[in-house]
Amino acid sequence: MSPPEEAGHQALIGEKFTAGRALVQSLSLWFRNLVLFLVTGLLAQFPLVLVTALRRPLPTARARILVTLVQCVMLCLASGTISHSVLEQLRARHPGLMASLAAGSARTWMLFAALGSTVLLTAGASLFLVVPGILCAVRWCLVPPIVVAEGRGDPRERSSGLTEGHGWAILGLLLTLLVAALVLTALLVALGPDAGFVGFFVGAMLPLGVFLSFGAVLLAVSYHLLRSEKEGDLEVVEVFR
């Protein structure tokens, strides 16, 4: 490696994670890929749209469980696709839609298992005065990008190690995302139509698509910054300066 290249890599080692940096980079990436990421978040809701279009409740509990499982798998596929695209772009590479979709598909079932067990454990911890559940949500929030990027080991243990020392900043980011989603939903419901598919799209699908897509971007960027700070990821290339 030539001296200039080595110096460039060394400048990235120890890059600090901050909530502001994670939010700014996430907004920049999300807007630059707005159509792709938002459409991915909307398509992930296909089972929900299909059930709503039927305009009648599903006939059996088995059918409801099946639709819920399919919905969860679609959400994992969307999360994996967006996470892969974000992590590649943070390394100054530009994957096409099919490459990111293939990477997301390869990790879908692993992500489904990891997120399913994480949600159950977090829900169980929330039974103890809520606070333990919040702590688990913060410590394990990086499970999706870790599964996509690394695909091995215990993603919850890995996430706990990367988030250690930044709990308050990460909690602030998660709360900001939640409040923004609630405000957006309230505004769209107030300003949009209140009946038919258009009303459902504006009041439910669109806010959820924004929340899902931007949330996946935010977690992937946070993983990238925390890994850069703590491990000096030599593949990371700063593209936002």
Q: What is the pLDDT of residue 159?
A: 96
Cβ atoms of 148 and 84 within 8 Å: the answer is yes
Q: What percent of the chain has pLDDT over 90?
A: 51
Determine whether 61 is exposed, middle or buried from the number of CB atoms within 10 Å of its CB (0-12, 13-18, 19+).
exposed
pTM here is 0.85
Each residue's pLDDT, cut to its tens digit, for the chain (241 residues) gives: 333 333 333 334 456 899 999 999 999 999 999 999 999 998 888 887 777 666 667 667 877 788 889 889 999 999 999 999 999 999 888 888 888 999 999 999 999 999 999 999 999 988 877 888 999 999 999 999 999 999 888 999 999 999 999 999 999 999 999 998 888 878 777 766 666 666 667 767 888 889 999 999 999 999 999 998 888 754 543 333 3
The pLDDT, as a whole number, for residue 119 is 92
Predicted local confidence at residue 161, as pLDDT: 94
> What distances in angstroms separate CA 26 from CA 20, 195, 220, one per listed residue?
10, 33, 9
What letter represents residue 222's amino acid? S
Predicted pLDDT at 206 = 83
- DSSP code per residue over 83-101: HHHHHHHTTT----HHHHH
For the chain, domain boundaries: 18-231
